[in-house]
């Protein structure tokens, strides 16, 4: 079998990447531009893609393709229905980043609650050396204990975040974006009730017709001025212009985001131009990228290929 991994740069420097070599003749491409996809799939039996789009047109021009492996959980970039019609199997890898994303969620929360960016600079720029007492307390730090922790989307990652929040001593409430999730361990409420009462709002939902632009200025106005909102789910769930406005208008205490509507983030994104930037902590969609998670992902891809070959 000939295998093409179309965008290995999305995996970073993961040490077990080449376990796939034992499964066939593998060609690794760091990046594949849209105009290169069809050419690179000529004579290829198995395609591996994290973000490279494999749509109807690509499938029609890849006559040897038998298996498409998503190097991800989501398969939005693959026309899976058309692939099935053409007899091409599509496989993803689920659950590989649960711990990584949950941990990153709390990294964002704690960065805001403990004012880590501010106090890091406070020490490094010499202000602490000149301070009149042994502790810096210019800005209050806050405990998660005793807070209402609101989760939007109680799937696999949302449940892990809920479990950790409970260990911190928070009371977990949740809103089911699909309306189908009912978990007796936590309090299920409407979106309006969650936003109105939660001290921390953490988003762990997929982007779809139910969640696109779910959080706008009107929803942010429902939140407490002391509350923070975290998004490690998908960009597009929060209206970024409205969030920037809400931060500068002091509607909320802060926000931590790992995902954006366009990625990489565009230079004119309103979040990069907020006046009160200390209330905002941003990371470049890397919540999922712990070394452990990426190794599990590669193992999952290899498993999917192996199962296909052993059918």
**Do 176 and 225 belong to one domain?**
yes
**Do 105 and 89 belong to one domain?**
no
Q: pTM, whole model, 2 decimals?
A: 0.96
**Do 180 and 74 belong to one domain?**
no
Judge contact between 148 and 197, C-beta under 8 A.
yes
* Residue-by-residue pLDDT tens, the chain, 311 positions: 999 999 999 999 999 999 999 999 999 999 999 999 999 999 999 999 999 999 999 999 999 999 999 999 999 999 999 999 999 999 999 999 999 999 999 999 999 999 999 999 999 999 999 999 999 999 999 999 999 999 999 999 999 999 999 999 999 999 999 998 899 999 999 999 999 999 999 999 999 999 999 999 999 999 999 999 999 999 999 999 999 999 999 999 999 999 999 999 999 999 999 999 999 999 999 999 999 999 999 999 999 999 999 99
**Do 165 and 48 belong to one domain?**
no
CATH number of the structural domain spanning residue 14: 3.40.50.720
**Can you give the residue range of the structural domain that contains 218?**
98-282
Q: Which of 65, 48, 39 is nearest to 7 (CA)?
A: 48
**Do 149 and 75 belong to one domain?**
no
**Do 104 and 126 belong to one domain?**
yes
**Do 10 and 83 belong to one domain?**
yes
**Do 103 and 80 belong to one domain?**
no
- The pair phi, psi for residue 215, each rounded to 5°, is -110, 105
Angstrom distance (rounded) from CA 235 to CA 255: 13
Number of domains forming the structure of the chain: 2
Which residues carry out catalysis?
234, 263, 285
**Do 59 and 202 belong to one domain?**
no
E strand or H helix at 196: helix 191-197
Angstrom distance (rounded) from CA 299 to CA 293: 10
What HEC string does 131-178 produce?
Answer: CCCCCCCCCCCCCCCCCEEEEECCCHHHHHHHHHHHHHCCEEEEECCC
**Do 41 and 106 belong to one domain?**
no
Chain centre to alpha carbon of residue 54? 22
E strand or H helix at 247: helix 240-248
**Do 57 and 111 belong to one domain?**
no
**Do 34 and 147 belong to one domain?**
no
């Amino acid at each position: 079998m000939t295998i093409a991994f179309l965008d290995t740069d999305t995996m970073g420097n993961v040490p077990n990447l080449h376990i796939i070599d034992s499964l066939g003749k593998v060609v690794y491409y760091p990046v594949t531009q849209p105009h290169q996809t069809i050419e690179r799939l000529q004579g290829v039996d198995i395609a591996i893609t994290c973000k490279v789009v494999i749509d109807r047109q690509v499938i029609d021009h890849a006559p040897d393709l038998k298996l498409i492996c998503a190097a991800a959980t989501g398969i939005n970039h693959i026309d899976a229905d058309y692939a099935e019609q053409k007899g091409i199997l599509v496989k993803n890898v689920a659950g590989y980043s649960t711990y990584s994303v949950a941990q990153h969620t709390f990294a964002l929360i704690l960065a805001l609650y403990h004012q880590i960016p501010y106090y890091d600079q406070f020490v490094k720029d010499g202000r602490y050396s000149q301070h009149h007492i042994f502790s810096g307390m210019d800005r209050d730090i806050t405990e998660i204990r005793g807070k209402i922790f609101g989760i939007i989307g109680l799937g696999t990652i949302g449940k892990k975040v809920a479990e950790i929040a409970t260990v911190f001593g928070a009371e977990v409430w949740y809103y089911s974006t699909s309306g189908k999730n009912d978990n007796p361990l936590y309090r299920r409420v409407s979106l309006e009730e969650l936003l109105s009462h939660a001290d921390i709002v953490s988003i762990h939902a997929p982007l779809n017709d139910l969640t696109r632009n779910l959080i706008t200025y009107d929803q942010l106005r429902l939140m407490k001025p002391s509350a923070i909102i975290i998004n490690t789910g998908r960009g597009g769930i929060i209206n970024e212009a409205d969030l920037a406005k809400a931060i500068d208008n002091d509607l909320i205490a802060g926000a931590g985001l790992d995902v954006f509507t366009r990625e990489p983030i565009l230079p004119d994104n309103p979040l990069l131009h907020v006046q009160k930037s200390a209330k905002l902590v941003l990371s470049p969609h890397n919540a999922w990228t712990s070394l452990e998670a990426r190794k599990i992902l590669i193992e999952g891809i290899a498993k999917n290929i192996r199962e296909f070959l052993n059918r």
